[in-house]
Amino acid sequence: MRPTKNICCIGAGYVGGPTMSVIAQKNPSIKVTCVDLNESRIKAWNNENLDNLPIYEPGLAEVVAEARGRNLFFSTDVDKAIDEADMIFISVNTPTKTYGEGKGMAADLKYIELCARQIARVATNDKIIVEKSTLPVRTAEAVKSILDHTGNGVNFQILSNPEFLAEGTAIQDLQNADRVLIGGENTEDGKLAMQELVNIYASWLPKDRILTTNVWSSELSKLVANAFLAQRVSSINAISELCEVTEADVQEVAKAIGKDSRIGPKFLNASVGFGGSCFQKDILNLVYISKSLGLNEVADYWEQVIIMNDHQKNRFARKIVKTLYNTVADKKIAFLGWAFKKDTNDTRESAAIYIAEKLLHEQANITIYDPKVKEHQIFSDLEYLGTLDPEIIKQRVRVVNDPYLAMDQAHAIAILTEWDEFITYDWRRVYDKMVKPAFVFDGRGITDGLNLEKYDFQVFRLGKSITTNKG
C-alpha cells in the first residue's frame, strides 16, 4: 500500500470543509482537495475574503487562511481529484428519505451510491475509501459491492471514520477530538489501510484517542453516540415540564444530578427542543434499522426521544399563545435567534422554524433577528415546510438586522437560540419600547442572571414557572 500523499474529499459541506481544512493544516506534506458539485459553494470556499466562506465556524477562517493554496484546494473537478487521490473521503449528505420505502425514517443513500459509482468509473489505481458521512450500519458492504463489481480491477479498502464534531465548535472539536474512530476489515490490507488513516490523525492527536474497530461497530457507534446525546436532551426536557408544575427549577435539578460523576454535567440544558441536521435524522435511522430487523421494543424506545422533542416544541408554542390571553392574532412576536444553536449559521431542523410555523397558523406577526442567519435562508426554511401559504409568510414575517428594531412594539419576545450577545442587551430600553405587559419566553435558559423581572417583564423560562417582580 503506497503512503498517502494525496487526499480527496467528496462533499465540501459542514463536515467536509472544516475536516479537510484541519487535516490539511496538520499535514502540510499531504495535498488535500475538497470537491463538490455545488459550484457556488466551491466558489465561496475559494473566496479571497474569508468572511465569505460558505460556513460560519469560529476559528475556521484562520485555518483556511493557513492551508488554502498551500496544500488545501477546493474544486468542482470531481473526476480529477478522485483520479489523483490515494485516499478518498466521502462526506456527502445522507438526509432522511422523502420518498418510497422508509420515507420519513431511513437515510437516503443515493448520494453515497453516486459517489461509489463515480469512484468505480474513474479510479485507475488502488485507493482507500473512507466513509465520513453518517451511515446505517452495514453500508460499507454496499459500497464495496459497487466498487468491486463495476471497477477496473482496482483494489479498494473501505474504512468507516464517522465524524463527531458539533457545529459551532467544529474547529475546536477537530483539533482536540475526544476520540477518532476508524473501522476497517480485519485482514492484512484492512489493517494497513487503517494504519494509513491513523497516521493522518496521529500528526496532531495522541494515539490513545484514535480507536480502531471493525467496520460495523464504527458505523453503528456514530448513530448510537447521537442517540445517547439527544436522549439526554429529551430526558431533561421531559423533566422541565414536570418542574413547571411543581415549582422545582430544571436548572437546579440539572446541576444537582450532573454533579454525580456517573451522570455528568454536559448536555443537560433544557431547551425548546434539539435541532440540527443530525440528531433527528440519525435517531430515525436507528429506529428504522431496528424495526427492519424486527426489534420493535428497541425501535419504540429510541423513537420516544423524537416524540418528546416534538412535544417540547409544540408546548413552547402553545405556552406563548396561552399566556398572551389565548390569541396572538396580529400581535408582534420578536424572535431572538433562528439558528439551531449558537455560533453557527446552520438552520437545519432548528426549533425556531417550527415555533414560527405554529404561531403563523395562529396569525401572529413575527419579526426575526439572528446575528448570522441571512434573510433568504429564513424565508426558504418557512417555505420549505410546505404548510404555509407563501403570501402569508411574506405578509407576516420580517427579518431585521437590528435586535432593538425586532423587539420594538412587540407583545412578546421568544428566545430561540442561545447567542451570547442576547444577554448583553439594554433590557430597560427593550422593556420601554414593548407593548405591556411585556412577555419574554426563554426557550434556552439564558435569562436567569439578567433578572428581567426587575424591569417588570413577565418571564417564562422552560423548566420554571412564569415569574414577575410581584413574585
Ligand X SMILES: NC(=O)c1ccc[n+]([C@@H]2O[C@H](COP(=O)([O-])OP(=O)(O)OC[C@H]3O[C@@H](n4cnc5c(N)ncnc54)[C@H](O)[C@@H]3O)[C@@H](O)[C@H]2O)c1
- Using CB under 6 A, list all residues that contact ligand UPG: 134, 163-167, 226, 229, 233, 267-269, 271, 274-276, 278-279, 340-341
Task: Say whether the peptide bond before residue 206 is cis (omega within 30 degrees of 0).
Answer: no
Between 12 and 30, name the residue whose CB sits nearer to ligand UPG: 12
- Minimum distance, C-beta of residue 128 to ligand UPG, in the bound complex (Å): 22
From ligand X, ligand UPG, none, interface partner of 269 (C-beta below 5 to 8 A by class) = ligand UPG
- Minimum distance, C-beta of residue 33 to ligand UPG, in the bound complex (Å): 23
Between 250 and 364, name the residue whose CB sits nearer to ligand UPG: 250
460: left (phi over 0), alpha (psi -120 to 50) or beta: beta
DSSP state of 168: T
Q: Is 13 marked as binding a ligand?
A: yes
Q: Is 122 marked as binding a ligand?
A: no
Between 216 and 431, name the residue whose CB sits nearer to ligand X: 216
Q: Is 95 marked as binding a ligand?
A: yes
Q: Is 12 marked as binding a ligand?
A: yes
From ligand X, ligand UPG, none, interface partner of 226 (C-beta below 5 to 8 A by class) = ligand UPG
From ligand UPG, ligand X, none, interface partner of 136 (C-beta below 5 to 8 A by class) = none
CB-CB contact of 349 with 306 (8 Å): no
From ligand UPG, ligand X, none, interface partner of 233 (C-beta below 5 to 8 A by class) = ligand UPG
Amino acid at 287: V
Q: Is 429 marked as binding a ligand?
A: no
∠ Cα 178 184 185 (to 5°):
155
- Minimum distance, C-beta of residue 334 to ligand UPG, in the bound complex (Å): 20
- Minimum distance, C-beta of residue 356 to ligand UPG, in the bound complex (Å): 15
Q: Is 16 marked as binding a ligand?
A: yes
From ligand X, ligand UPG, none, interface partner of 92 (C-beta below 5 to 8 A by class) = ligand X
Amino acid at 56: Y
Backbone phi, then psi, for 331, in 5-degree steps?
-85, 150
Between 5 and 117, name the residue whose CB sits nearer to ligand X: 117
Backbone phi, then psi, for 426, in 5-degree steps?
-85, 90
Residue with cell 467528496: 10
Question: What stretches of 285-424 adopt beta strand conformation (E)?
Answer: 332-336, 365-369, 397-399, 412-415
Three-class secondary structure of residue 107 per DSSP: strand
Q: Which helix (H) or strand (E) holds 83?
A: helix 78-84
- Interacting residues with ligand X (CB under 6 A): 10-16, 35-38, 41, 78, 91-94, 111, 114-115, 133-134, 163, 165, 167, 277-278
- Minimum distance, C-beta of residue 263 to ligand X, in the bound complex (Å): 25
273: left (phi over 0), alpha (psi -120 to 50) or beta: left
Q: Is 92 marked as binding a ligand?
A: yes
β-strand partners of 68: 72
> What is the rounded CA–CA span in Å between residue 28 and residue 149?
35
What are the grid coordinates assigned to 86, written together?
490515494
What are the grid coordinates assigned to 219, written together?
458505523
> What is the rounded CA–CA span in Å between residue 65 and residue 365?
42
Tell me whether residue 278 is one of the annotated catalytic residues: yes
From ligand UPG, ligand X, none, interface partner of 114 (C-beta below 5 to 8 A by class) = ligand X
Between 168 and 463, name the residue whose CB sits nearer to ligand X: 168
- Minimum distance, C-beta of residue 132 to ligand X, in the bound complex (Å): 6
DSSP state of 205: S
Q: Is 93 marked as binding a ligand?
A: yes
| Edge-to-edge strands, sheet with 458-461 | 397-399, 365-369, 332-336, 412-415, 439-442, 458-461
Between 229 and 446, name the residue whose CB sits nearer to ligand X: 229
Residues taking part in catalysis: 278
Annotated binding site for NAD(+): 11-16, 36, 41, 92-96, 133-134, 167, 278-281, 348
Annotated binding site: 11-16, 36, 41, 92-96, 133-134, 167, 278-281, 348
